Copies of this chain bind each other. A is one copy, B any other.
C-alpha cells in the first residue's frame, strides 16, 4: 500500500524495518524450541541423505538467515527435511558412493543448481510451475516417499548393512541380513521408537493432567526426539556400547563453523543433476508454499509465491555456499515455530545462531549418538506423513484423482522418487486432457415464454425447425475440438433438416489455434452442405481474438449477443 522508498534501509526486509519490541519474546522462545527439534533432525536427515552429520548441521544455519531476508512467510522453518533428503540420496546414488568427498561435493552442487533454478523461476515469476503438481499427486508422492524412507531406515534399527539401490533390493537384503541383527542396536532403536510413539500419543495428555497448559504440553511433546537422542547418547557412552557391543554411532563430527566457499559444477555435473535439482526445487517449493500459506492465513497474513521462490532459492544457494545440501520449508518445525509464538523470521535467525554455537563448540556431544536412535526419529517423523485421508476423499469424490495418487505412490515405491513424481505429473496432465476431451455439451431450446434456454433432454423447451443450438460447457482447445466436430456431425446426421448450427459459447473461455482450425474447417464443410455456422454469447476476450481471423470474417453477421437473438432472427423465427 505504501509507495516504495529507495533508502538504504529499504533493502532490509519489511519485518526487520518495522520490528516491534513486543515481538521479541515470542521470536526468542520459538527460536529456542525449534533449535532443540532441529539438532536431531538435521543429524538424522543427513544420515537419510547419505551425508556426514555435519552437512546436516551446516544446512541449518545460513539457509535460515537467507530465507529470513528474502522469503515472505513469517513462520516457515527452513532447513533439512525428510523428502528432499531422500530425493538427494536418490539423485546422487548413480554418480557417487554415499559418504565420500565426491558425494558431498555433488550434494552441495545439487543444492546450488536447485537454488539457482528457484531464483531464476522467482525472477521470471514462474510460480505457476508449481501448479503442475496436483494435490493427489503430491499426496501420493509424499506417502510413497515416507514408505521408501521408513524401509530404508530399518537397516539402522537392526544394525546391519544392506544395499539400497531399490526398495525391493533393500527388503530382500533385510531378510537375508536378519540373522546378523545386532541385538543391542535393535534394543536401542526399538526403545527409542517405542518411546517416541508413546510420547507422540500420550505425553501431551499426561502433561495436561499434571497441570501444564495444553499449548505448552504440545510443545514439550515435540521435544521428545531430543530426549531420545540425549538418553541414547548417555546409554551408549556409559557402557561404551560402540566398542563393547559394536553399536554404530555418529562418531567424530568436525567442530567449527562451516568454511564458506563454492566449487562450481561442470557441464557434466549439470547434465547429471538438472532433472533431480528441478524436481527437488518444485517439490520443495510446493510443500513450503502450502505450509507457509496455511500458517499465514491463521494470522491474516499473505504469502507471495514469487517471493517464496526467491527466499527458497537464496536458502539453497546459501546452503551450498556453506557446505550444506538441499533445504526447504519443513512442515513439523514450521508448525512448532508458529505454535511457540514466532512473530517474524527473527525466530529463525535465533535458531541459526544457536546452531552456530552448537557446531562451533558442542559437536563432541554427538560422538556416542547411535544411528539406531536417529533412524527411530526418522521413522516416527515420516510415518506421520503417510496420508490416507486424501486418498479416501479422492476415492469418493473423483476416482481418476484417486488412481493418480495410488499410481504415484506405487511409482515412487517401486521405481524411485524421480520416476514416481514424473509419472504423477504425466498422470495429472493425462487426466486433465482426458476430461477435457469429453466436454459436456447440450442441445438447448427456449423455455416457453422466457428468454431462458435449457438442455432439451432435461426440460420441456421450444426449438426452431432447422436450427440446432448446441451449448459447449468447456473452453475449446486441442484436446476437445475434434469431439465438438464429431458431435455436430453426428447431430446433423440424425436430423438432415438442420440448416443452422448455433454454437452457444457462454462457457467457452478460450479457443486455441487447433480449435480455431477445426471451427474454420467445420464452417467451410457445413457451408458446402448449405448449413450455416453461427455463434452466440461469445465472451469479450474470445471475440477480440476471433475477429481478425478467417473464421471471424466468414462469420460476420452470424455472431449473436444472445441465444434469444439467434432464435428470433427474422426469417427463421
Contact = CB atoms under 8 A, between A and B. Distances in A.
- What are the nearest 3 A-B pairs in CB distance? A134-B478, A135-B514, A401-B513
B479 A132 contact: yes
Given A440-B509, A475-B474, A396 B548 contact: yes
Contact of A509 (B302, B439, B514): B439
A300 B507 contact: no
Interface stretch (A42-50, A336-344, A430-438): A430-438
Contacts of A486: 305
15 contacts: A128-B434, A128-B479, A132-B479, A134-B514, A135-B513, A298-B525, A305-B486, A390-B513, A390-B517, A397-B549, A398-B513, A401-B513, A401-B514, A429-B433, A474-B475
Contacts of A453: none
B506 A506 contact: yes
A397 B302 contact: no
B479 A397 contact: no
Interface in A507-543: 507, 509-510, 512-514, 516-517, 521, 525, 528-529, 539-541
A287 interface: no
B298 A528 contact: yes
Contact of A517 (B128, B135, B474): B135
Contacts of A480: 131
Given A302-B493, A478-B135, A509 B128 contact: no
Looking at A134, A394, A512, the one whose CB has the most chain B CB atoms below 10 A away is: A512
A9 interface: no
A267 to B, nearest CB: 17
Given A394-B513, A401-B512, A478 B545 contact: no
A428 interface: yes
Contacts of A390: 513, 517
A482 B302 CA distance: 13
Nearest to A477: B432
A397 B516 contact: yes
Contact of A545 (B128, B397, B525): B397
A263 interface: no
Given A128-B434, A136-B513, A507-B509, 15 more contacts: A131-B437, A132-B433, A135-B514, A294-B521, A297-B489, A298-B528, A300-B529, A302-B489, A305-B486, A396-B548, A401-B513, A401-B514, A402-B513, A429-B429, A507-B507
A131 B479 contact: yes
Contacts of A549: 393, 396-397
Interface string A365-394: 000000000000000000000000010011
Contact of A506 (B132, B137, B507): B507
Given A433-B429, A525-B297, A541-B440, A514 B478 contact: no
A374 to B, nearest CB: 33
A440 B539 CA distance: 11
A493 B429 CA distance: 33
A475 B528 CA distance: 35
A210 interface: no
